[in-house]
Amino acid sequence: MISPRIVQRAIDLLEHSSQISQVGRYAFLIVGVSVAQGLFLFLMRRTIIVASREIENDLRNDIFWKLESLTSTFYNQMPTGDIMSRATNDMNAVRSVLGPGIAYSVNTIFAFLFVIPMMILISPVLTAIALIPFPIMAILVNRVGKSINRRYEKIQAQLAAISTFVQENLSGISIIKSFVREKHQIDQFLELNTDYVKKNLSFARIYAAFHPSLMFIIGLAVLLVLAGGGKLVIEKQISIGQLTAFMLYLGMLVWPSIALGWVIGLYQQGTASMKRIRHILDAEPDLKDGPLILQPLKTQGKIEFKDLNFSYETEPVLKNIQLLIEPGITLGILGQTGSGKTTLVRLLPHIYPVKEGVLFIDDRDINQYQLQSLREQIGFVTQDTFLFSDTIHNNIALARPDASREEVVRAAQIAAIHQEIMEFPDGYESYLGERGINLSGGQKQRVSIARAILADPKILILDDAFSALDTYTEETILKNLKTIFPDKTVILISHRISTLQNADHIIVLENGQIVQQGTHGELLQQAGLYAQIHQKQLLELEIESVD
């Protein structure tokens, strides 16, 4: 604030004296003040920008932690691309508010708080004239700011749609190529991208008009000051030095006023983005932890369903399920597609909410267990295997990151995949492509089975985990499991009778209900779905052998 006053005194001095030494002293003062101003401006910006990056780091970690804690219900409703857009582009918009936004806001507030009193000290009348256009600026900022917010929300929503489309296309690129749909997908992307460009242009038009409007208002203020100030100088009410200082103070308000428009834009963008981020942060998981912890050494693996009914929305998927699975037995589940097999086993690790009093593990209601302790005792191999872009060792060791190489190898041997892993150039340190693309379907399944075995769970669920394997490999794995882990409760889901025939107990699901149960021999003697499927599969084997 002191520089214009020094200039004022220097000019007023020149009116009455021309001593170079005195003018030089004022020049050195101006340089010294400018250096100090630059130093503190650097320190302020560094402090705030560093703080904004640290806040961004914390917020990004909070979002990821929240995403990890949310249940399947949330992910069923929100596409992956939309989530990625909120965690990246929206995060950058919020960080811009916390960094440059705060820095320039502080500058603007302090500029007005300190400059206007200095202007009043020179001339209250001239100050009143200079501030005439500023109410117009306030109205402009308010109106345009709201419009910027609305248009930016639409841009971010469209960007999320593009991100989702690209993510799905990259994940399903083999399907697109198989059906020769490249041109169709490119056209769809072009349509989405064109819409995105239109929304951006709409935003750019109003944003581009915002700054020139502010400059026009500032220019109007300068014009009024020149006219009014010139008259006051002529009338000897203020000196030329005072008018010069006043113009310099007014100039100090020019950049903050321009920055105000930029900050308002940042704020509106950040507000729109934070609203989208809060949708994730405010989401509440529909599953809550219970007070009980399943102790690994004491867990038996007993499972009991008591008149269980379950539905995802309105239509019931499982109806009146009454089933007791004793500890250490192997349960086979057979049923046609859509009969509820996967849904039944997905309830065990408490992936979906279950009413109290219908599902028990070790004679305790599943709702009473802490989710983490419950899931640590359940190994789950899904029908859709997922492998990460990492080494084979790390993919298997995901279940137990602290596992030694010997333990990983043992799990791979039980899953009958060890020899094939050793054929890779780097063995267990070989890197897999996205979703394990450089492995066959059977190899992916066996790596997933090895991962579940390494976790050493008390309850092992294999949901159609042998669909890509030949019967010999399948029998080898099942024999290994029975020999090495005789005390585990194993649940097998399969469409093949050969997979289930040695199970201790088998249930048959149809339309969400258990229609048959018993051993392989008992079910064959019943005239039901199990015997029909068995007869059909035997016939298919005979036809294949003839071919």
- Considering the chain, what percentage of its residues have pLDDT values greater than 90? 20
Does position 440 have pLDDT exceeding 80, yes or no?
Answer: yes
- Identity (one letter) of the amino acid at 23? V
Are 186 and 262 part of one and the same domain?
A: yes
Are 273 and 303 part of one and the same domain?
A: no
The SS3 of residue 1 is coil
Give which of 306, 308, 298 is closest to 362, Cα–Cα. 298
pLDDT tens profile 224-233: 888 888 888 8
Are 146 and 229 part of one and the same domain?
A: yes
Inter-residue contact 369 to 350 (CB < 8 Å): yes
Q: Is residue 410 part of a domain?
A: no
**Could you tell me the two tokens for 463?**
């949901």
- Last-in-domain residue among 281, 314, 337: 281
Q: Is residue 438 part of a domain?
A: no
Sheet of 378-381: strand order equals 378-381, 459-463, 489-493, 330-335, 505-510, 513-518
Are 194 and 323 part of one and the same domain?
A: no
Q: Is residue 96 part of a domain?
A: yes
Q: For residue 544, what is the domain's CATH number? A: 3.40.50.300
CA 134 to chain centre: 42
Question: Residue 238 has what DSSP assignment?
Answer: S
Are 276 and 302 part of one and the same domain?
A: no
What is the distance between the alpha carbons of residues 226 and 235, in angstroms, rounded to a whole number? 14
- Last-in-domain residue among 237, 254, 281: 281
pLDDT tens profile 51-69: 888 888 898 899 998 888 8
Are 232 and 306 part of one and the same domain?
A: no
Map tokens 């920008």 to a residue: 49
Give which of 258, 318, 220 is closest to 104, Cα–Cα. 258
pLDDT tens profile 249-264: 888 877 777 677 677 7
Other C-beta atoms lying within 10 Å of the C-beta of residue 522:
13
Highest mean pLDDT among 15-24, 70-79, 164-173, 276-285: 276-285
Other C-beta atoms lying within 10 Å of the C-beta of residue 529:
18
Q: Is residue 22 part of a domain?
A: no
Other C-beta atoms lying within 10 Å of the C-beta of residue 226:
13
Partners of 331 in the beta sheet? 491, 505
The SS3 of residue 270 is helix
- Containing 405, the helix (H) or strand (E) segment is helix 405-414
Q: Is residue 382 part of a domain?
A: no
Give which of 277, 220, 310, 316 is closest to 64, Cα–Cα. 277
Are 536 and 505 part of one and the same domain?
A: yes
Q: Is residue 342 part of a domain?
A: yes
The SS3 of residue 311 is strand
- What pLDDT, on the 0 to 100 scale, is given for residue 19? 67
Go through 300-338 and write b for each residue having 16 or more CB atoms within 10 A of its CB, e for each that does not: bbbbbbeebebeeeeeebbeebebebeebbbbbbbbeee
By CB neighbour count within 10 A (0-12 exposed, 13-18 middle, 19+ buried), where does 364 fall?
middle
pLDDT tens profile 526-543: 888 888 888 888 887 777
- Last-in-domain residue among 224, 253, 281: 281
What is the distance between the alpha carbons of residues 203 and 329, in angstroms, rounded to a whole number? 64
What is the distance between the alpha carbons of residues 113 and 171, in angstroms, rounded to a whole number? 55
Q: What is the pTM of this model?
A: 0.69
Give which of 104, 102, 70 is closest to 87, Cα–Cα. 70
How large is the angle between the packed helices 80-96 and 240-281, nearest 10 degrees?
Answer: 160
Are 339 and 214 part of one and the same domain?
A: no
- Kindly report the average pLDDT of the chain as a whole number: 85
What is the distance between the alpha carbons of residues 303 and 257, in angstroms, rounded to a whole number? 69
Partners of 359 in the beta sheet? 305
What is the distance between the alpha carbons of residues 243 and 232, in angstroms, rounded to a whole number? 9
Does position 18 have pLDDT exceeding 70, yes or no?
Answer: no
Are 137 and 200 part of one and the same domain?
A: yes
Are 114 and 188 part of one and the same domain?
A: yes
Other C-beta atoms lying within 10 Å of the C-beta of residue 199:
19
How many distinct structural domains can be found in the chain? 2
- What pLDDT, on the 0 to 100 scale, is given for residue 547? 58
pLDDT tens profile 332-364: 999 888 888 999 999 998 888 888 999 999 989
Please state the rounded mean pLDDT for residues 420-424.
90
Does position 17 have pLDDT exceeding 70, yes or no?
Answer: no
Q: Supply the range of the domain harboring residue 244.
A: 50-281
Are 67 and 186 part of one and the same domain?
A: yes
Go through 121-148 and write b for each residue having 16 or more CB atoms within 10 A of its CB, e for each that does not: ebbeebbebbbebeeebeebbeebbeeb
pLDDT tens profile 231-243: 888 888 888 888 8
Q: Is residue 433 part of a domain?
A: no
Are 134 and 223 part of one and the same domain?
A: yes
What is the distance between the alpha carbons of residues 216 and 137, in angstroms, rounded to a whole number? 10
Does position 138 have pLDDT exceeding 90, yes or no?
Answer: no
- Identity (one letter) of the amino acid at 75? Y
The SS3 of residue 507 is strand
- What pLDDT, on the 0 to 100 scale, is given for residue 396? 92
pLDDT tens profile 366-387: 999 988 888 888 888 887 788 8
Helix (H), strand (E), coil (C) string for 462-528: EECCCCCCCHHHHHHHHHHHHHHCCCCEEEEECCCHHHHCCCCEEEEEECCEEEEEECHHHHHHCCC
Tell me how far apart the terminal alpha carbons of the chain are, to the nearest angstrom.
96
Cα→Cα distances 71→43, 174, 199, 462, Å: 44, 29, 33, 21
Q: Is residue 289 part of a domain?
A: no
What is the distance between the alpha carbons of residues 361 and 359, in angstroms, rounded to a whole number? 7
Which of the four pLDDT bands, split at 50, 70 and 90, describes residue 169?
confident
Inter-residue contact 362 to 302 (CB < 8 Å): yes
- Identity (one letter) of the amino acid at 436? G
Does position 322 have pLDDT exceeding 90, yes or no?
Answer: yes
- What pLDDT, on the 0 to 100 scale, is given for residue 365? 92
Q: For residue 260, what is the domain's CATH number? A: 1.20.1560.10
pLDDT tens profile 88-112: 888 888 888 888 888 778 888 888 8
Inter-residue contact 484 to 424 (CB < 8 Å): no
